Amino acid sequence: MKFLKQFSQKAILAATLTLSTTAFAEEALNLDALLKTLEQGQAVQTEQNKAREADFRSKQDQQVAMLNALTNKRDGELNRSERLETTFEENEIKLQNLTDTLSKRMGSLKELFGVLQQVAGDSSNKFQTSVVSAQIPGRSAFMDEMAKKMGSSSRLASIEDIEKVWYELQREMTEQGKVSRYNSEVIVAGGSKISKEVVRVGAFNLISDGKYLTYNPVTNTTSELTRQPSSRFTETAAQLQTTTTGTVAFALDPTGGSILGLLVQAPNTEEQVHQGGPVGYVILGVGILALLIALERFFSLMIMGAKIRRQLKDDVAREDNPLGRVMKVKDQYPSVAYDTLELKLSEAILREMPKITRNLTLIKIISVVAPLLGLLGTVTGMINTFQAITLFGTGDPKLMAGGISQALVTTVLGLVVAIPTVFLYTLLNTRSRNLLLILQEQSAGIIAERSEKGA
């Protein structure tokens, strides 16, 4: 309080000096007026200080009252905490006693409930991934709830619950041996849902309209595979769906979809050809060229052979076949010696030979070049593989798959083109030689006939 009074006096003095300075600026200094002003200011400050002191005392009493109230509340909470701790300890003892009593009363049932919990948990995982759940949903949720109930020591399974677990297991085993048909919404290509007849083959596959389906246990939806396996599998699927009696050969997936997923990822013939790259396309191009030439030669020689056989039965020489043109030489030179006629006939045969053996050499060249192109593709693919190993190492086989595929596919394509081309060349060459032999045989007969006449 003393400090407060000293502070108040100093403040009053400072205010008085300020007022005095202002008054001096406006009018002349008057000591009596200044003294009077100081007395009035001191009286005012005294009243203000008294009011402030009274306000402070009233608030101080209020703060003390609040402090006392909070102290009493704290003491009450401490007492309540001690009571709750005591009650908690008593409840812990009671709970332990009840748990011991429950364990003693359960006896061998405790082991039974443990086995039931394990069976329910395992069955839940199996039902969730089984394709049977596509037709009979909701079984996994019941098994999950049963496993959680058995995991809690405060909840016991009823006889109805145990019987339902047994029933669901028995139904799963029964449905695995059935081919069942039911209607369901199927997500087709494009994302739209269409109600279709679905055929479930045990716990192995789902098919519809000759296409394989996949079941998503998370969303509980059935959808078509975006990429179907090869035709030999889809044909059996379509046959199974249309057949109502008898037996049908069908490829089962015992893994529930894993093997089918691998078959879907396997490249088909077109994709394998594309893996050969530019070299593979060149091999196929020359192979197609060889096939076209071989077909042209085959039909040409077949027609030519038919005309030659017809000419053999006719004594009149015709211009529409090689044998007729050779025989016509005899009529063109009726009086020459047989040795001259022999030269003329040999010349006629030589003129016909290019027509008979045309493009056969090209087929033979293709049969030799195709394996060499395959070897070129193999070397190129191995170079790409070693470059990938140099850059990325051998940690990821997919980085090397492109080079290896090109190396193997081009070799296969080269052999696929070369082997049939060799057979085609041999067949056509044999046929052309037979025709030439007929021409030479008939030419020799004509020379012998002329020789006999000359003798």
pLDDT one-digit tens code per residue, 54-85: 777 777 777 888 888 888 889 889 998 998 99
pLDDT at 292: 94
Nearest Cα to Cα of residue 351 among 415, 269, 443, 235: 443
CA distance 180 to 244: 11
**Top-confidence residue, 350 or 25:** 350
**Top-confidence residue, 274 or 16:** 274
Nearest Cα to Cα of residue 171 among 183, 182, 180, 159: 180
Report which secondary-structure segment, H or E, holds 14: helix 2-26
**Top-confidence residue, 30 or 439:** 439
What backbone phi and psi angles, to 5 degrees, belong to 448? -65, -40
The least confident of 200-209, 282-291, 358-367, 391-400 is 391-400
What backbone phi and psi angles, to 5 degrees, belong to 27? -145, 175
Nearest Cα to Cα of residue 297 among 431, 106, 200, 145: 431
Residue 417 has pLDDT above 90, yes or no: yes
pLDDT at 110: 65
CA distance 293 to 359: 7
Return the bridge partners of 214, or none.
223
Cα distances (angstroms) measured from residue 49 to each of 18, 52, 53, 63, 240: 20, 5, 6, 21, 108
Dig out the tokens for 261 from the structure: 């997923």
Q: With bands split at pLDDT 50, 70 and 90, how would you rate the model's confidence at 314?
A: confident
Cα distances (angstroms) measured from residue 109 to each of 17, 115, 135: 100, 10, 34
Residue 374 has pLDDT above 50, yes or no: yes
**Top-confidence residue, 311 or 268:** 311
Residue spans of the domains in the chain: they are 2-85, 107-176, 181-266, 275-454
CA distance 105 to 85: 30
pLDDT at 153: 57
CA distance 76 to 130: 61
pLDDT at 23: 42
Q: With bands split at pLDDT 50, 70 and 90, how would you rate the model's confidence at 366?
A: very high
Cα distances (angstroms) measured from residue 170 to each of 27, 67, 161, 165: 118, 73, 14, 9
Q: With bands split at pLDDT 50, 70 and 90, how would you rate the model's confidence at 427?
A: very high
pLDDT at 25: 43
Q: With bands split at pLDDT 50, 70 and 90, how would you rate the model's confidence at 298?
A: very high
pLDDT at 107: 57
CB atoms within 10 A of CB 17: 10
The single-letter DSSP state of residue 151 is H
The whole-number average pLDDT for the span 243-266 is 72
Task: Provide CB contacts within 8 A for 124, sequence distance 6+.
Answer: 140, 143, 144, 147
pLDDT at 147: 79
pLDDT at 396: 65
Highest mean pLDDT among 11-25, 323-337, 347-361: 347-361
Residue 36 has pLDDT above 80, yes or no: no
Highest mean pLDDT among 202-216, 237-251, 291-305: 291-305
pLDDT per residue over 213-230, tens digit each? 888 888 888 888 777 777
Highest mean pLDDT among 45-49, 195-199, 312-316: 195-199
Angle at 28 between CA 25 and CA 31, to 5 degrees: 115
pLDDT at 116: 78
Residue 151 has pLDDT above 80, yes or no: no
Helix (H, G, I), strand (E, B) or coil at 154: coil
What backbone phi and psi angles, to 5 degrees, belong to 186? -120, 130
pLDDT at 250: 77
Report which secondary-structure segment, H or E, holds 197: strand 193-201
Highest mean pLDDT among 237-251, 286-300, 395-409: 286-300
Helices (H) then strands (E): counts for the chain: 14, 5
Average pLDDT, the chain: 79
Residue 281 has pLDDT above 50, yes or no: yes
Is 237:250 a contact under the CB 8 Å cutoff? yes
Residue 290 has pLDDT above 60, yes or no: yes
Residue 141 has pLDDT above 70, yes or no: yes
pLDDT per residue over 200-211, tens digit each? 888 888 888 888
Helix (H, G, I), strand (E, B) or coil at 338: helix
